[in-house]
A and B are shown apart, each in its own frame.
Chain A
């Protein structure tokens, strides 16, 4: 008759089990806040090592940027899947312009104090003209009930804030994918490169399950390849502290025009960066970038001032850590 201790693994069995675990564990995906999720139901755990020490200065990954081409005809854009308004020569229809612009008269009574908490006086924003690179690789994103900004990071991939594609948290929802329109280089009524629609929306569980502002980023896969024409930004995990920072996008207090604010990165935490660039509702998803022989994103703008400490003093966004970098590279390849 066996004693009850006979079923207990002996030392040799324990050793074998530990060895096996040691072999298998590095091959396993780690489930965590950088896990990728998408509007079509895809879930993927982040790879091992997806978030290597962002503050250690080890990560210096750098994706390529691309300046696009100088001349392109509407027919060539059409071949890339871009939608051009028939008969309106690349302009919003009157109905769309009225619906999207929110405040069509800059300086109109009632518009002056929109979101003043995130304009850190004086208002240093400058208007841009958007048929030049890299401005034309910054996009206006519209969807049912709102709008954001974003950045082309590949021929058919746009980076943006997580809250621009998903309302956040386990009780949140993906925004209506079919309502998305992405306008590269929009400028007032002009849409010189037409618009693209969204094939799928992407973010990570740190945002979609936990609504954690440190993981507030995402991507949109387009039904077009307009990046081949207008170009795209690179992105880098370089330590951002002290770097000059440029933020440009489509502020909600302006009539669909493109604006830029320049400052520097004053501080960074493991997953966020902090600056005094002037921003406002509508700028979410804008690139936070600097010139590294081409435009390179170091972050994605997401929030104005709130709470305490750095969050109270500075506007801030999601930092390009190695985890963010890896996910952007993955989404580019989809």
Chain B
């Protein structure tokens, strides 16, 4: 329920957003995985970041260019590129379509 959103942003640098269906419904338990687009990329912790009951996720990441992939049961892998600037939180939402 939108009205019950408890938004406590823990990160001050990285990527945050929502994972939703094309009908706007939140997808819970999707796993979001960043990969650096730079050969000399920074360390990315091997933590499993997952979307919550509102579809939200937060990935603390150092500045750089990343490919963000989302994996959710019943949906094909979906990948988007994103840049993170120093001291900034970039918003990146995923809209997933079910497998045909």
Contact = CB atoms under 8 A, between A and B. Distances in A.
Interface string A293-322: 000000001111011100100000000000
A308 to B, nearest CB: 6
Contacts of B60: 163, 167-168, 172
Contacts of B94: none
A139 B30 CA distance: 21
Contacts of A104: 73
By secondary structure, the A interface counts as loop
Contact of A281 (B49, B52, B87): B49
Contacts of A100: 29, 50
Nearest to A303: B43
Nearest to A308: B40
Contacts of B41: 306-307
B21 interface: no
B52 A145 contact: yes
B1 interface: no
A189 interface: no
Given A104-B73, A145-B58, A213-B43, A282 B48 contact: yes
Interface in B55-79: 56-58, 60, 62, 69, 71-77
B90 interface: no
A211 to B, nearest CB: 7
Contact of B31 (A105, A114, A171): A114
Interface in B5-39: 8, 10-13, 28-31, 33, 35-36
Name B's interface SS.
loop
Interface residues of B, number: 40
A72 B52 CA distance: 34
14 contacts: A99-B29, A108-B73, A110-B72, A111-B73, A146-B48, A164-B47, A168-B60, A173-B11, A253-B31, A302-B43, A303-B44, A306-B41, A306-B43, A306-B44
Interface of B: 8, 10-13, 28-31, 33, 35-36, 40-50, 52-53, 56-58, 60, 62, 69, 71-77, 87, 99
- Closest A-B pairs by Cβ, 9 of them: A252-B48, A282-B48, A102-B31, A163-B45, A167-B60, A171-B12, A284-B46, A110-B77, A146-B49
Interface of A: 98-105, 108-111, 113-115, 117-118, 144-148, 161, 163-164, 167-169, 171-173, 175-176, 211, 213, 216, 250-253, 279-284, 301-304, 306-308, 311
